[in-house]
Amino acid sequence: MLRLGHLTLPSTLLILASCATTDAKSGAGAAPSSPAPTPVAEQPAPKPSEPPAPPVVWASAASFEQDCGAALERVKAIREQIKAPGPRVLATMVAYNRLAAELDHTANQAGLIENVHPDKAVREAAEKCERDVAAFQSDLTLDRGLYDAVAGVDATTLDADAGRFQFKVLREFRRAGVDKDDPTRERLKQLRAEMVKVGQDFSRNIRDDSRKIDVDPKELAGLPEDFLKKHAPSADGKVVLSIEYPDFFPVQSYATSEALRKKLATEFLNRGFPKNGPAMKSLLALRAEYAKILGASSWAEYMAQDKMVGSAKAIEKFIADVNRSARPRMERELKELLERKRKDDKKAKAIETWDRFYYVEKVRQEKYGFDAQAARPYFEFAQTLRGMFDVYAQLFGVEFRRVEAPVWHPSVQVYDLYEGPNRLGRFYLDLHPREGKYNHAAMFPMVIGTQGGPVAEASLVCNFPDPSAGQALMEHNDVTTLFHEFGHLIHHLLASSSSWVNLSGINTEWDFVEAPSQLLEEWTWDVGVLQRFALHAETKAPIPADMVAKLRASAEFGKGTHVMRQVFLTALSYELHARDPKTVDPEKVTPELTKKYNPYPHVEGTHLYAGFGHLEGYSSMYYTYQWSLALAKDIFTRFEKAGLLDGATAKDYREKILKQGGRRDARVLVSDFLGRETNLDAYKKWLDR
């Protein structure tokens, strides 16, 4: 998921998170021989008795509030400086760039801390900061004097980067309604403030809704041994299961008890409900009014206008095209899955949502000889993390160095990114679940790195098995998620070749930004890459080549149902924002679109939309996952030909796509790397394979 930070300007507060790897196990790459791993430089982690100095900003609610207030005062001073009478020259742009960088950092910091800090008071302070920043941004983007100051700079005197910076800033001013009359601008400001507040409520309701169920130990038949060891019965003889990922996905994949799978899935599908029922309706109404004031027919149309897709109609066409391509495969797979289910239950009439992992795994195991449980010991968490570092270090010519730095939780690790003697950035790894923490998988930008400015910073926030609770074995799906999210992070850290903040980091078109991370999932299907780090937790033997071959072959099954479920979520995201908010009802639209697109029937008594966090972040733009995937598959064709670890190709990719950030349109970046215009051939080939 990539989450819009409440219409920030000129750069965008983003949360980039994985969707594909939560239920997809498809994709494969070439399998060249691989050189030895590149070592990762590490310093010892701080000893528990010698903690790092307390962080200044997130140490307490008071310190966070103070820092946020001081940052806003600095930004206000820069704003007045820009608007002061005087010549409108390059210095005007430089000052606005400084303003944007300060505001972006403050907003990003608040967005991260409200999702990860263990202290509720600090999380609430961060939420308030985010609202304050959003309110200031709203006022900023409606400030005609500020717009005139930036517009007054003669574009012919600017170089390409400065000119593009100016173009993007002025476009966002106009998209915010700077040209409207005073009452209209005031209403737009009110709407934006309300959208921020309701959006925060929607996300918090999901984050805080960590449901649990009590089950009899006998119901855990089929679960892996390491899972059972971590889930010993309590004093009353019951085992407690949560809807968090480390519990949810193993149960859905391996529990032989359909009743257990159904019970946990039902709780999962009710996340955020009932609170998010009215919250969603309110958000839809606010967004629709905002878009209408700005001349768009719907929020979906408004949000599409500055993306690669260009229009809401183009999104509709894309949904129809993918539906047409994926549906035949989905139907074949559902027939095969139902035949397999009827071996267990002769009266079975459908593959239910709580069957989608379990029976896909059964067919994969019986048809292709791949046993997902047998693969788990090869993906021990710490070894997998080191292995990923080694792969990325070689691929991009960088080094990761563990450092001591202030963190918001003792489990967080900090690394600096180096290229030779040059420090390119810093990142924080917050990778295990806990109460009150963001419960998906995401990359949170913190600081945008620029030429001559600060180095980039970001945080990776995931929910992988925790080694502190015992042996932590990952699913291959988890490995793919890790590579995906770190793909976002490396993109953000490397994209600092411009001096301008809205051309750096991941400030490219939203429907392109998932492509680099989806591309890097391909490395997790390659035998040569996997054997570098996928070592058995006990024997230390590398994962067998025939197991990887079976993994790759089996992953082809379930592709149709996965893509069609993505089509359903895309349609839900789009239709809720394309229809009249006065008549649209998520309670009715969800089962309607489920019947039209979803491979699995609607579950009565559940409210999927209420826990669909992308509706807050992506709003109408969930289509970007398949759109970006099509681009990723096309980009990957060069690596397929040259080899996944081919240095020249990787360097070309880094220089022509990652480092460029938003300096040019995404379509131009891709065509420059490919040497031709992008097309859907590779995506269709992948889907039809």
Three-state SS for 103-128 is HHHHHHHHHHHHHHCCCHHHHHHHHH
| CB count in 10 Å sphere of residue 118 | 14
Does residue 241 lie in a domain region?
yes
Element (H, E) at 281: helix 276-293
- 253 lies in which domain range? 210-268
Does residue 123 lie in a domain region?
no
Does residue 254 lie in a domain region?
yes
Token look-up 């066409």 returns 317
Give the chain's end-to-end CA distance (angstroms, integer).
26
Task: Give CA torsion, residues 309, 488, 558, 572, to 10 deg.
Answer: -40
- CA–CA gap between residue 38 and residue 387 (Å, rounded): 9
Scanning 27-60, the segments in alpha helix (DSSP H) are: none
Does residue 589 lie in a domain region?
no
Tell which residue, 381, 546, 486, has the closest CA to residue 31. 546
The domain tally of the chain equals: 1
Average pLDDT of the residues of the chain: 92
Q: Which positions of the chain have pLDDT values less than 50?
A: 1-15, 19-54
Positive or negative, the CA dihedral 9, 439, 307, 596 is negative
Task: Judge contact between 280 and 202, C-beta under 8 A.
Answer: yes
Does residue 229 lie in a domain region?
yes
Element (H, E) at 457: strand 456-461
User: Which residues, including other chains, have CB under 8 Å from residue 505's CB and lie 6 or more apart?
Assistant: 11, 445, 448, 449, 456, 492, 495, 496, 661
User: Which residues, including other chains, have CB under 8 Å from residue 460's CB and lie 6 or more apart?
Assistant: 427, 428, 429, 430, 431, 442, 443, 444, 485, 486, 489
Alpha-carbon distances of 275 from 114, 123, 249, 271, rounded to whole Å: 19, 19, 25, 9
Q: pLDDT tens digits, residue range 603-655?
A: 999 999 999 999 998 999 999 999 999 999 999 999 999 999 999 999 999 99
Does residue 144 lie in a domain region?
no
Q: Is the pTM of this model over 0.85?
A: yes
Give the per-residue pLDDT at 180: 97
Give the per-residue pLDDT at 55: 57
Give the per-residue pLDDT at 126: 97
Q: At what angle do helices 681-688 and 312-344 cross, to 10 degrees?
A: 10
Q: What is the CA radius of gyration of the chain?
A: 25
DSSP codes joined into one string, 286-354:
HHHHHHHHTT-SSHHHHHHTTSSS-SHHHHHHHHHHHHHHHHHHHHHHHHHHHHHHHHH-TT--S--GG
- CA–CA gap between residue 62 and residue 604 (Å, rounded): 45
Largest CA distance in the chain: 82
Does residue 232 lie in a domain region?
yes
Task: Judge contact between 430 and 116, C-beta under 8 A.
Answer: yes
The one-letter amino acid at 249 = F
User: Which residues, including other chains, have CB under 8 Å from residue 675's CB and lie 6 or more apart?
Assistant: none
Give the per-residue pLDDT at 14: 42
Task: Judge contact between 635 and 654, C-beta under 8 A.
Answer: no
Does residue 463 lie in a domain region?
no
| CB count in 10 Å sphere of residue 365 | 16
| DSSP letter assigned to residue 658 | I
Positive or negative, the CA dihedral 483, 485, 488, 492 is negative
- CA–CA gap between residue 566 and residue 571 (Å, rounded): 8
Which residues does residue 459 pair with via DSSP β-bridges, in sequence order? Answer: 428, 444
